Structure 1
Amino acid sequence: MTSLNDRENFIASYGALFEHSPWVVQRASAMLPLPSLHAGLMKVVHDATPEEQLSLIRAHPELAGKAAVDGTLTDASAAEQASAGLDQLTQEEFDRFHALNHAYAEKFGFPFILCVRLTNKAGILAAMESRLGNDRDTEIATAIEQIGEIVRLRLEHVL
Structure 2
Amino acid sequence: MATKSFVNLYGGVYEHSPWIAERLAEGGISLALDDPKTLASAMQVVVERATRDEKLALLRAHPDLAGKLALADLTTSSRDEQQGAGLDQCSAKELARFSELNDAYKGKFGFPFIFAVKGYHRRDILAAFERRVNNDIETEFNEALQQVHRIALMRLQAL
Q: Given the two structures, how large is their TM-score scaled by the length of structure 2?
A: 0.91
Describe how 1:38-53 pairs up with structure 2 within 5 A.
Answer: 38-53=40-55
- Say if 2:14 and 2:20, in contact at 8 Å, map to a contact too: yes
Describe how 1:17-28 pairs up with structure 2 within 5 A.
Answer: 17-28=13-24
**Worse overlay, 102-111 or 28-37:** 28-37
Q: Provide the rounded CA distance (Å) in 2 between the counterparts of 1:146 and 1:117.
A: 11
**What SS does the corresponding residue of 1:79 show, helix, strand or coil?**
helix
| CA deviation string 1:13-48 (max 9, x = no partner) | 111111111111111111223542111100011100
Name structure 1 gaps, 5 residues minimum: none
- Say if 2:64 and 2:113, in contact at 8 Å, map to a contact too: yes
Runs of 4+ in 1 over 6 A off after TM superposition: none
Change (3 A) 1:85 1:30: same
Query: What amino acid maps onto 1:21 in structure 2?
Result: S
- The answer on 1:130 being equivalent to 2:126 is no
**Worse overlay, 49-58 or 131-140:** 131-140
Q: Provide the rounded CA distance (Å) in 2 between the counterparts of 1:11 and 1:31.
A: 13
Q: Given the two structures, how large is their TM-score scaled by the length of structure 1?
A: 0.91
- Say if 2:85 and 2:121, in contact at 8 Å, map to a contact too: yes
Identity %: 43
Q: Provide the rounded CA distance (Å) in 2 between the counterparts of 1:17 and 1:66.
A: 23
Name structure 2 gaps, 5 residues minimum: 33-37
Structure-2 residue corresponding to 1:37: 39
Paired residues, what number?
A: 153
- Say if 1:11 and 1:29, in contact at 8 Å, map to a contact too: yes
- The answer on 1:121 being equivalent to 2:111 is no
- Say if 1:68 and 1:78, in contact at 8 Å, map to a contact too: no
Q: Provide the rounded CA distance (Å) in 1 between the counterparts of 2:68 and 2:112.
A: 12
Describe how 1:13-92 pairs up with structure 2 within 5 A.
Answer: 13-33=9-29, 35=32, 36-65=38-67, 68-69=70-71, 71-92=72-93
